[in-house]
Amino acid sequence: MLALVVVASASFSAHGVARGQNRPSSDASSPVVAPSRPSPAVVPAAPPTPRCPDGMVLAEGEYCSNVDQRCLRWLDPETQMRCAEFAPSRCTGRRRPLSVCVDRYEYPNQPGVRPEVMVSWYEARRACENQHKRLCTQSEWTFACEGPEMNPYPTGLRRDPEACRIDHQTIRPNRPRLSNPMTTADESARLYEAVPSGTMNRCVSWAGVHDMTGNADEWTINESSRPFQSALKGGWWGHIRARCRPSTISHNEGFVYYQIGFRCCADPTASTP
């Protein structure tokens, strides 16, 4: 009889526990659990923004190593030097990312000041280094001029002598006076027909660089180093190619002439926003 009473008590307790789990607790000391909140989303840090020194602009994008540029109308069909209008360019080489700071104007990189000429490649390189800059490579200079669209002129597909200082009538040089140290300065001044930087306010490339074709020819670094480390880009004020892509590589590093100047480049620095 006693055994039956014990079993019944155990059964009652078991049912009591089961029912108790379905009732709200009246114990004031029970902890209150707040509803869980979703973790805040992790926002990735913005990549550093490339920055350029004062007086320089950033040219950044994809550069094509080889480009097919087809002239639609030659100004001088016999020599095929100056093209009035090109068809849209086509990349036939490799594309690679390129990011470079470029002087806004030709050296001394000041608006309203005429470009400095009669400087050798060595002198140009040293002048850039003195400003903690360097000469542009051919590729860097070309990209700053033509942009991702690979335009033959900084103004686009059409040659425009009203926009840039090109196709200007030149003065015949007196070579003996130009090569004589006693008369070089005077003769160079007589021949000089570049205009102050920024005068041709429509001669601006996609990146915001002025006078990349015409005005003064510009020293750059010949990336092949053949036949010299030096290469000239952009042409000058005369009746010449004056396009973004061609280079003149026939003059050595010590060569100077009355229409040759330069501009500087630099590597962008990273700035965290």
- CATH number for the domain spanning 250: value is 3.90.1580.10
Query: Rounded mean pLDDT of 131-151?
Result: 99
User: Which residues partner with 50 through β-bridges?
Assistant: 270
**Dist CA 142 CA 211 (whole Å):** 13
- The pLDDT tens digits of the residues spanning 240-269 come to 999 999 999 999 999 999 999 999 999 999
Q: What is the mean pLDDT of the chain?
A: 88
Q: Specify if 162 maps to a domain.
A: yes
Residues 6+ apart with CB under 8 A from 77: none
Q: Specify if 11 maps to a domain.
A: no
Threshold 0.85, pTM exceeds:
no
Q: Is 70 helix (H, G, I), strand (E, B) or coil?
A: coil
Q: Specify if 256 maps to a domain.
A: yes
Domain enclosing residue 256, as ranges: 51-271
Q: Specify if 24 maps to a domain.
A: no
Q: Specify if 39 maps to a domain.
A: no
User: Around Cβ 102, how many Cβ atoms within 10 Å?
Assistant: 27
Q: Specify if 111 maps to a domain.
A: yes
Q: Could you give the number of structural domains in the chain?
A: 1
Q: Specify if 154 maps to a domain.
A: yes
